[in-house]
Structure 1
Amino acid sequence: MQAINFIAHRGWRQHYPENTYIALEQALAAGALNIELDIQLSADAVPFVFHDPNLARMCGTDGLIWEFTAKELLTLHASEAGRLGDKFANNPMCPLADIVDLLNAYPAANAYVEIKAESLCQFGTATVVDAVINILRPIADRCLLISFELDALIYAQHEGWQRFAAVFDYWPDWQLATLAALKPEVVFCDKHCVPIDADLRRLPWPVLVYEIGTLQEAKDWFARGAVAVETFLVGEMLSDFNITVDFAADSA
């Protein structure tokens, strides 16, 4: 296995507040070549790296993310205190624009950028997708858009976006016309929805399985044909597989 076969789910979430700059940067510093992050929009349609529509779990603040402007969100702290205590009490929220700078600092890395259904419902497909791809264009060759909402990805495809990865939390219909039109590079599947007898090598699209937490579990999925696994423990997983990445050499 190589580093490319592992994806840092919401960054290195095991040790840092998920979907924040520090979680994503530390995942890359640990050797991850792939990071995954989620996108919700602010009231003024600015994309932020954030999973939940509600701010309570991450920020300890009542309200929905799209009820706050970008300027207001930047005054909040994404500390995930319920899980991590006060260790990251002053940790800021992360605008998507910051990820462009981060990936420029790690030119060997890729990002899987998930457009969340809640913001698509709140703002409409065009508003959300346009806001995301306009920010990511400088690093478009290293960003794969993903979403449970395939129509959003098809819209991005019509707007000229090139790289995609569909995502499912149920066993998908592999003959789905939208999926065939999208031609994803990989399909994300929840490990719990994959039939026990499924041979992933026989499917029409490469399959990436989430959420994987142990060395043995990862080995089992690779043996079943998964091309990659997504994990909250990317640093530990890379260490368990004795994988190291020399970013200095990659950028030389």
Structure 2
Amino acid sequence: MRAENFVAHRGWRQHYPENTLIAFAKAIEAGAVNIELDIQLSADQVPFVFHDANLMRMCQRKGLIWEYTAAELDTFSAAESYRLGAAFQDNPMCRLSDIVALLQAQPKINAYVEIKEESLTHFGEQIVVDAIINTLRPVASQCILISFELNALHLALHEGWQRFGAVFDAWPDWQSAALTELKPEVVFCDRNCVPNSADFTAVPWPILIYEVGTKAEAEDWFARGAVAVESFLIGELLKEFSLNTV
């Protein structure tokens, strides 16, 4: 195994607030070369690295992320205190532009950037896709757009974006025209949606399994033919496979 076979799911989430700069930086320090992050838009259509539409779980704030401007969100703390207590009470929310700066400083790191359905529904595909790809252009070669919403990825494809991955929480139709046109570099599959009889060698694109938490489970998926696994415990997994750098 190599570090390339592992993806840091929302950063090193086990120990740090998910989808924040510290979580990604610590994952990279631990040896991760692939990070995965989620995007929602602010009221003024600035991309933020954020999974939920609702702010309560991460920021203990009422309302939805697109009800606040980027300047307002910059004042919020993304502490994830329900899970992590007061350890990160001053930890800021992360803009996508912060990830661009991180990737520019770390040219060997790849980022899987997930376009979230909630913002697509609220703003429309064009606004969301344009906001994301225009922000990512300085590091386009390091970024793979992913989404459950293949229509959004097709829009990015038609606007010239070149790197894609699809995400599924149900075993997909591998012959679908939507996947064939997209030509994904990898397909993310929920571990719970993979049939016991599934033959990974018969699938036309590489499969990445999420969410994996133990070495034994990862080894099982690799033995079945998965090219990579995604984990909240990225540092722990890399250490178990003797791939960590800290």
TM norm structure 2: 0.99
Deviations along 1:43-76, whole A, 9 cap, x unmatched?
0000000000000000000000000000000010
Task: Tell me the secondary structure at the aligned position of residue 209 of structure 1.
Answer: strand
CA–CA distance in 2 between the matches of 1:53 and 1:145? 19
CA–CA distance in 1 between the matches of 2:245 and 2:167? 27
Structure 1 contact 210–230 (Cα < 8 Å) conserved: yes
Tell me the number of residue pairs that the alignment of Structure 1 and Structure 2 aligns: 246
Amino acid at match of 2:106: Y
Structure 1 contact 201–226 (Cα < 8 Å) conserved: no
CA–CA distance in 2 between the matches of 1:117 and 1:244? 34
Corresponding position of 1:151: 151
Corresponding position of 2:131: 131
Amino acid at match of 2:230: E
Structure 1 contact 215–241 (Cα < 8 Å) conserved: yes
Q: Check if 1:23 corresponds to 2:9.
A: no
Aligned CA distance change for structure 1 residues 245 and 164 (closer, same or farther; 3 Å): farther
Corresponding position of 2:213: 213
Give the C-alpha shift of residue 201 in structure 1.
2.0
Corresponding position of 1:249: none
Corresponding position of 1:192: 192
CA–CA distance in 2 between the matches of 1:122 and 1:244? 40
Corresponding position of 2:121: 121
Give the C-alpha shift of residue 245 in structure 1.
5.5
Alignment of 1:1-252 (within 5 A): 1-244=1-244
Task: Tell me the secondary structure at the aligned position of residue 136 of structure 1.
Answer: helix
Give the C-alpha shift of residue 197 in structure 1.
1.4
Task: Tell me the secondary structure at the aligned position of residue 238 of structure 1.
Answer: helix
Amino acid at match of 1:131: A
TM norm structure 1: 0.96
Amino acid at match of 2:4: I
Amino acid at match of 2:161: W
Give the C-alpha shift of residue 234 in structure 1.
0.5
CA–CA distance in 2 between the matches of 1:14 and 1:244? 15
Q: Which segments of structure 1 move beyond 6 Å, counting only runs of 4 or more?
A: none
* Sequence identity percentage: 67
CA–CA distance in 2 between the matches of 1:131 and 1:14? 29
Alignment gaps of 5+ in structure 1: 247-252
CA–CA distance in 2 between the matches of 1:170 and 1:82? 30
Amino acid at match of 1:80: E
Give the C-alpha shift of residue 128 in structure 1.
0.2
Give the C-alpha shift of residue 101 in structure 1.
0.8
CA–CA distance in 2 between the matches of 1:142 and 1:46? 20
Corresponding position of 1:250: none
The alignment's C-alpha RMSD in Å is 0.9
Task: Point out the more displaced range, 69-78 or 101-110.
Answer: 101-110
